[in-house]
Amino acid sequence: MSGVVVLIPIHNGGPNVTAVLEGLGALPVRRLVVDDGSTDGSGERARAAGAEVLPLRRRCGKGAALRHGLARILAENERPDWIVFMDGDGQHLPSEVPRFLARMDGGADLLLGTRMDQGERIPAARRRVNNAGSFVLRLMTGHAVPDTQCGFRAIRAAFAARLGLESDGYEIETEMLMKALRLGARWESVPVSAVYEGEPSHFRPVADTYRICMAALRHVR
């Protein structure tokens, strides 16, 4: 393992952005933040905390922000070995990133965070979407992924370059899974905490659930 980039999309993350980046400070990782049109100074906070910041002029959505970040990483002459995806709103704990780092020398191409050991801490609407997504994914692919909607995950950069991601919103996590499994990705689950405190989520239960379901159908073949 010669290089790891932690890719963090943010939109009005507030002081949580600084806390997340400071929590990553002691780890042997590069930190790339995509500022998805924030109006609260999140990009400036991230830069002050030592992160590389890729600003987007207007809000484009989580998926679009991740795609911009991936494009930057994959276009570099010296690609990292791995890319870790995590949110900057405090729902993903930087203290748990070493759990992913510890698995990177194994045989997996995709490391998927799972919060299912703490499922009772996930809001009911989000839990229902997750359970439905896991059921549908198992039917479509034969893979029993326990937590399909957890954005705390890592992928080999060489594998990420093969995916051709297209989504603009939260459905990017489903698209990534469907395409990676279709290409034969070897995956492992990594236990992570279920954190739903502090800043409200930007997830829209009805609209984003619909887009997630459509993404699953669109990328099944």
Which of 92-106, 139-153, 163-177 is least confident?
139-153
DSSP readout, 136-178? HHHHHHS---S-TT---EEEEHHHHTTT-----STTHHHHHHH
Distance CA 70, CA 90 (A): 21
**pLDDT tens readout for residues 65-83:** 999 999 999 999 899 999 9
| Model confidence pLDDT, tens digit, residues 32-70 | 999 999 999 999 999 999 999 999 999 999 999 999 999
User: pTM here?
Assistant: 0.83
What CA–CA distance (Å, rounded) separates 6 from 49?
14
pLDDT surpassing 90 at residue 110: yes
Distance linking the first and last C-alpha atoms of the chain: 32
pLDDT of residue 115: 84
Pairwise CA distance, residues 197 & 14, whole Å: 13
Q: What is residue 96's predicted lDDT score, i.e. its pLDDT?
A: 97
Of the pLDDT bands very low, low, confident and very high (cuts 50, 70, 90), residue 94 is: very high
Between 197 and 206, whose confidence is greater? 197
- Looking at per-residue pLDDT, the higher value among 198 and 43 belongs to 43
Which domains does the chain show, CATH number per domain?
4-218 (3.90.550.10)
pLDDT for the residue numbered 1 = 44
> What's the CA angle centered on 104, arms 195 and 69, to 5 degrees?
65
pLDDT of 109 above 90: yes
Q: Which one is predicted more confidently, 198 or 150?
A: 150
Position 219 pLDDT exceeds 60: no
Dist CA 143 CA 181 (whole Å): 8
Residue 199 pLDDT: 47
